[in-house]
Amino acid sequence: MSHIELRDLDDDDLDAIFEMMRDPEGVARAAFTAADPDDREAFDAWITRQRDHPDVLYAVVTENGGFAGSIAAFTIDGDREVSFWIARHAWGRGVATAALRMLISREAERPLFARAAAHNAPSIAVLEKVGFTELSRDVAFAPGVGREIEEIVFTLLPSLDGS
């Protein structure tokens, strides 16, 4: 069984995150990505904004101590959202599910929201496993696939006991 942890982002993680976020298969799944995933300057500017923003919780996901991805919580238009990106070498082993459970246990605000491309069945499965339910669907341009696609918005509501 793998040991999954979340830890603070370190400068030494930046190359691994950049490489993960430019993996063609990952970009195709995520779809709503940077316009040019190979643009390191744009990536560096984006990650600097994430790190500097007081409302963004950006963490590295580790599996048995090694880099396995990243996960974040942030606020857009007053809604608290979560997002995760798992490196391809860690796909299919429950890393995303474990990491998302850890993140939402740290996030007191409810409801939480998440988004996924409708064709991204693995991410949809992760969201549903941890209790997110579909809220709405819309069509939007997805730079990762170069066309408009369906995006699903999910929500995680407070439980009956208030958590």
**Domain residue ranges in the chain:** 4-156
Pairing state between β 79-86 and 112-117: parallel
SS3 21: coil
**pLDDT of residue 66 exceeding 70:** yes
More confident residue, 162 or 124: 124
SS3 93: coil
**Structure token digits, residue 83:** 């997002």
CATH code at 4-156: 3.40.630.30
Cβ contact 85:69 at 8 Å: yes
The model's pTM? 0.93
For the beta carbon of residue 13, count every other beta carbon within 10 angstroms.
Answer: 19
How do residues 14-64 score in pLDDT, each as one tens digit?
Answer: 999 999 999 999 999 998 999 899 999 999 999 999 999 999 999 999 999
Residue 3 has what DSSP assignment?
-
Structure-token match 């069509």, residue found:
139
The pLDDT value given to residue 159: 66
Output the CA torsion sign for 120, 56, 143, 14.
Answer: negative
How do residues 130-155 score in pLDDT, each as one tens digit?
Answer: 999 999 999 999 998 899 999 999 99
